[in-house]
């Protein structure tokens, strides 16, 4: 049997509600916002962690009260019933079982069923004021009169139909939490708690032959707000010291304010990681790891988009010929072969720089050119190498050709330049070594 | 009786063993190796490579790091931008799957990555477009490199600030080969060794021979047309005329 907790805050604004939903994470991993002034928590299997449903409800209400929020909460076996009780239930907060649910809902008005406003108005006009009256009506006549929504809502509330809950963020693969008696605000104490959490989570990962790719630490402040920091890795990993090192840089950015009282560590993304047999003779294993750790550390500091492997793609245009592929991504596409006879510069100029070039007649080869105000006389010239965009590229560009020349000036500097499709403008596109 | 040069060699080796210095070296070119005190550019050290243009420095450091990396090593390329055209490095012996490209806008971040990378024993070479490293950072990088055996090349163009206290300092400038048939990916350079710890500065003209050879070879200066011989002929002609 599932168990839902519905939270109703009549006078809450959009911004505060988003924060409240994030904060509710401390009670259950499955939380979603519910309309414009409430939240719904799937607390199936969570209540005993807080000493039972009564204690959970009491704890929640006490904390919300301390935050200065007017809030009503109720627990029931279905989303619909919890929603109705939180808003119209009066003094009844916890209801379980089909018969109890029916008894609790019977006296409530039809608004309690999450119906559209005009349907409620219509029902009232027909003299159907409460749920008991609605329940006595035949389902097919209700459907012909009001459409499927009324029957559906009624069945959902009375546990006769399932209702899925979409959590506000994807539920974690693994999760561990610590609630502290006293709030902490120093990096050292957060590290201590984190180490404890990591040991628990990494132990679970090891049992299941998994490694984490993305961990998220949620730190709940005393005032009901949440701060987060995360650790991403390029390869699945479950080593506590390594994870500690990845978190270390971010822990300093946490802002404790009045102190953190609860920590939740979730593994958002896990991948298979099989145990490896360490060998006495060689330290190959350690070496292989240390390079991945370097990628992780650099990626965590600069962002994983800045740490790239280079892949050759099937294109001759210099802009598309190579791609930077994040080294942390699970699969790096296979590299194409680059033909040796296509000589390419070491550095590109991006975007290509317009230059003035004088050409020989006939032939059209560059004879001298200006870069800024400096004149370069061409001593040697190879080309043209005509490059087209492939047909699947932008149709505007596909029929444009560029004639590339490799050029050496009298000082031995080597350049890569091209004449564009208009046959009038020259661009400098790269430097050879 | 041992010659003075062999005695010197022995002494050098004794000092090296006393100082636990890395004696692993990477060869450059035959003529350069003979000039250098360790018969090559020492690995596990930091080096400065300045090019007349940055691309010269990249290619020279690329050749050395490809030799350091061999088949399985990793080469980190650090730069503030993404203007490197990796296909241009293929002729210099680097394999693209060995290169890890890290870009960071800020100098401090680049220096941090360089330090972290030099600490990693699996990294063969760190090629960083980074200048103006002060003495403290330079020492830190050098110690990290000595510990792990990774080699650092710090690149810049002619106008960029020097780095403090490298083991060797190189300047690479293009050289007009005059050979119209040479491929553009087989450049010739004027390579100046501006500073070398425990050695003397030197200067060579080298050309890269790619393809099967993969060597840097010294270009000996072309014998100049002899002015005196011409004038002698002239005088002879005058003499005849006379």
Q: Tell me what pLDDT residue B236 has.
A: 45
Using a CB–CB cutoff of 8 Å, tell me whether A291 touches chain B.
Answer: yes
Q: Searching chain B, which residue's CA lies closest to the CA of residue A299?
A: B102
Q: For residue B158, name the pLDDT band (cuts at 50, 70, 90).
A: confident
Residue of B nearest to A300 (CA): B113
Contact: B184, A382; criterion CB under 8 Å: yes
- CA-nearest residue of chain A to B207? A433
Evaluate if residue B76 carries a pLDDT over 90.
Answer: yes
> Quick check: A295 contacting B, CB < 8 Å?
yes
Asked if the Cβ–Cβ distance from B187 to A307 is below 8 Å, we say: no
pLDDT in tens, B169-195: 999 999 887 777 888 888 999 999 999
- Among A297, A312, A348, the residue with its CB nearest the CB of B116 is A297
Determine the residue of chain B that is closest to A382 in CA distance.
Answer: B184
Nearest CA in chain B to A321: B87
Provide the 10 A C-beta neighbour count for residue A46. 17
Phi then psi for residue A297, to 5 deg, are: -60, -45
Domain ranges of chain B: 25-223
Domains contained in chain A, CATH given:
4-157 (3.30.70.270), 174-282 (3.30.1490.100), 347-431 (no CATH)
pLDDT in tens, B7-42: 887 887 787 777 665 568 888 999 999 999 888 899
Residue A344: helix, strand or coil by DSSP?
A: coil
Give pLDDT tens digits along chain A (433 positions): 789 999 998 888 888 898 888 888 888 888 998 888 899 999 988 888 888 888 998 888 888 888 888 888 999 999 999 999 998 887 767 888 888 888 888 888 988 888 889 999 988 898 888 888 888 888 888 899 888 888 999 899 888 888 888 888 888 888 899 989 899 988 899 999 999 999 999 999 999 999 998 999 999 988 888 888 888 888 888 888 888 888 888 888 888 888 899 999 999 888 888 887 655 555 555 555 688 888 988 988 888 889 999 999 888 888 888 999 988 876 778 888 888 888 999 999 988 999 999 888 887 889 999 988 899 999 889 888 998 888 887 777 666 788 999 999 998 899 999 998 888 899 999 999 8
* Residue from the list B53, B54, B122 with its beta carbon closest to the beta carbon of A290: B122
Report chain A residues whose CB lies below 8 A from the CB of B74. Answer: 291
CB contacts < 8 A (A, B)? 143
- Please state the φ and ψ torsions of residue A35, each to the nearest 5 degrees: 70, -160
Q: Shortest CB distance from A347 goes to which of B83, B183, B188?
A: B83
Query: Is A384 in the B-facing interface, judged by CB distances under 8 Å?
Result: no
- Asked if A311 lies within 8 A of B82 by C-beta distance, the reply is no
CB contact under 8 A, A345 and B103: no
Q: How many CA atoms lie within 13 A of B43 on its CB side?
A: 18
Nearest to B199 by CA among B168, B171, B166, B163: B168
Of B53, B102, B183, the CB nearest to A298: B102
Superfamily per CATH, domain B25-223: P-loop containing nucleotide triphosphate hydrolases (3.40.50.300)
Q: What is the dihedral of CA B113, B119, B124, B130, to 10 degrees?
A: 30
Q: What would the two tokens of residue B102 be?
A: 């890290």
pLDDT over 50 (residue B229): no
**How much is the pLDDT for A283?**
52
Burial level of B136, CB count in 10 A (0-12/13-18/19+)? Answer: exposed
Subunit contact B174:A414, Cβ cutoff 8 A? yes
For residues A310 and B81, give the distance between their C-alpha atoms in angstroms, rounded to a whole number: 14
Residue B109 has pLDDT above 80, yes or no: yes
Please list every residue in chain A whose beta carbon sits closer than 8 Å to the beta carbon of residue B96.
310-312, 322, 335
């Amino acid at each position: 049997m599932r168990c839902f907790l519905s939270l109703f805050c009549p006078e809450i604004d959009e911004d505060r509600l988003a924060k409240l939903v994030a904060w509710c994470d401390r009670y259950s991993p499955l939380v979603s916002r519910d309309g414009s002034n409430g939240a719904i928590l799937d607390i199936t299997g969570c209540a005993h962690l807080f000493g039972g449903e009564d204690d959970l409800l009491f704890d929640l209400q006490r904390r919300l009260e301390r935050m200065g929020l007017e809030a009503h909460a109720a627990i029931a076996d279905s989303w619909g019933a919890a929603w109705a009780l939180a808003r119209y239930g009066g003094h009844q907060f916890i209801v379980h079982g089909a018969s109890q649910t029916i008894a609790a809902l019977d006296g409530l008005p039809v608004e309690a069923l999450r119906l559209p406003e005009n349907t409620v108005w219509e029902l009232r006009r027909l003299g159907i004021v409460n749920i008991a009256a609605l329940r006595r009506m035949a389902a097919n006549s209700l459907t012909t009169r009001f459409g499927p929504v009324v029957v559906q809502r009624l069945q959902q509330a009375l546990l006769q139909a399932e209702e899925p809950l979409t959590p506000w963020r994807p539920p974690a693969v693994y999760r561990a939490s610590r609630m502290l008696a006293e709030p902490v605000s120093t990096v050292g104490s957060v590290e201590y708690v984190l180490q404890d959490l990591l040991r628990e989570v990494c132990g679970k990962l090891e049992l299941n032959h998994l490694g984490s790719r993305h961990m998220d630490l949620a730190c709940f402040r005393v005032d009901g707000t949440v701060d987060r920091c995360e650790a991403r890795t390029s390869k699945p990993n479950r080593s506590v010291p390594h994870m500690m090192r990845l978190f270390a840089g971010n822990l300093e950015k946490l802002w404790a304010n009045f102190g953190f009282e609860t920590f939740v560590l979730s593994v958002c993304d896990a991948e298979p990681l099989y145990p490896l047999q360490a060998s006495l003779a060689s330290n190959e294993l350690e070496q292989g790891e240390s390079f991945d750790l370097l990628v992780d550390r650099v990626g965590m500091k600069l962002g994983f988009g800045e740490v790239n492997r280079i892949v050759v793609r099937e294109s001759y245009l210099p802009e598309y010929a190579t791609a930077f592929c994040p080294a942390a991504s699970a699969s790096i596409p296979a590299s194409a072969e680059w033909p040796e006879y296509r000589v390419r510069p070491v550095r590109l100029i991006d975007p290509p720089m317009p230059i003035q070039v004088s050409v020989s007649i006939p032939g059209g080869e560059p004879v001298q050119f200006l870069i800024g105000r400096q004149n370069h006389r061409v001593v040697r010239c190879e080309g043209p190498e005509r490059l087209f965009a492939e047909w699947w590229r932008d149709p505007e560009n596909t029929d444009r050709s560029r004639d590339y020349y490799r050029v050496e000036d009298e000082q031995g500097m080597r350049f890569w330049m091209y004449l564009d499709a208009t046959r009038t403008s020259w661009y400098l596109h790269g430097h050879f070594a | 009786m041992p010659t003075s040069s062999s005695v010197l060699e022995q002494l050098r080796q004794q000092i090296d063993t006393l100082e636990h210095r890395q004696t692993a070296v990477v060869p450059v070119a035959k003529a350069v190796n003979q000039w250098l005190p360790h018969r090559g550019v020492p690995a596990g050290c930091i080096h400065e490579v300045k090019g007349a243009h940055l691309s010269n420095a990249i290619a020279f450091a690329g050749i050395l790091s490809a030799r350091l990396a061999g088949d399985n090593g990793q080469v980190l390329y650090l730069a503030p931008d993404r203007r490197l055209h990796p296909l241009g490095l293929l002729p210099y012996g680097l394999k693209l799957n060995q290169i890890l490209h890290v870009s960071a806008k800020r100098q401090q971040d680049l220096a941090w990555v360089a330090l972290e990378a030099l600490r990693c024993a699996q990294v063969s070479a760190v090629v960083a477009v980074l200048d103006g490293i002060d003495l403290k950072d330079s020492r830190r990088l050098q110690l990290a490199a000595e510990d792990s055996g990774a080699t650092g090349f710090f690149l810049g163009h002619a106008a960029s600030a020097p780095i403090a206290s490298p083991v060797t300092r190189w300047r690479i400038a293009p050289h007009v080969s005059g050979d119209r048939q040479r491929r553009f990916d087989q450049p010739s350079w004027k390579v100046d060794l501006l500073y070398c710890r425990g050695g003397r500065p030197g200067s060579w003209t080298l050309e890269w021979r790619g393809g099967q050879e993969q060597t840097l070879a010294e270009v000996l200066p072309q014998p100049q047309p002899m002015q005196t011989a011409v004038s002698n002929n002239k005088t002879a002609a005058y003499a005849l005329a006379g």
